Amino acid sequence: MAKKGSAEERDLVHKLWERNFAAMRAPASGGATKRPLPDVLAGNGKLYLAIEVKTTTKEKIYIEEEQITALCEFSKIFGAKPYIGVRFKYTKWLFLEPQNTPRTKSGNYRVEKDYALEKGFEIDEIAGIDKQMKFE
């Protein structure tokens, strides 16, 4: 499972580089350090993104509250915009703002596929690329 997750993170990093962001995986995320690190960190000198990456073949993703708290803590210190990056099987990358992501009764985060498809931002949106900029 970890191997698949790292492949998905690398895919996202490549997509961000294609949009003129310097991007990298934070290999220390996931327990190698006690510091609050995102899975992917990207910036272009104007906009900085910290992304917690989750992928699944199922219809829902559950994320522990502590992971998103750490993402938001890192983002605040670094000056980055925090996102939960989700990819369901056969869908494109979608991004949710933590403060607008549904929670369970226990405080964890729950992302359903239909919700992500309806409310999630696409990669160009979080990268600040709009349709007008693409044609200039």
Measured in degrees and rounded to the nearest 5, phi and psi for residue 14 equal -60, -40
> Are 27 and 71 spatial neighbours (Cβ–Cβ below 8 Å)?
no
Q: How far is CA 121 from each of CA 3, 97, 108, 126, rounded to the nearest angstrom?
A: 26, 9, 21, 7
Span 102-125, mean pLDDT? 97
| Tens-place pLDDT, residues 7-42 | 899 999 999 999 999 999 986 545 555 677 899 999
Q: What angle do CA 20, 22, 24 make, to 5 degrees?
A: 135
Which residues are designated catalytic? 29
| Structural domain that includes position 113 | 2-134
Altogether, the residues listed in the chain come to a count of 136
- pLDDT band, very low/low/confident/very high, at 4 (cuts 50, 70, 90): low
| Tens-place pLDDT, residues 80-99 | 999 999 999 889 999 999 99
Q: How many domains does the chain have?
A: 1
- Rounded Cα gap, residues 6 and 26, in angstroms: 10
> Are 104 and 97 spatial neighbours (Cβ–Cβ below 8 Å)?
no
Question: What CATH number does the domain containing 29 carry?
Answer: 3.40.1350.10
Query: In DSSP terms, which residues pair with 57 in a beta bridge?
Result: none
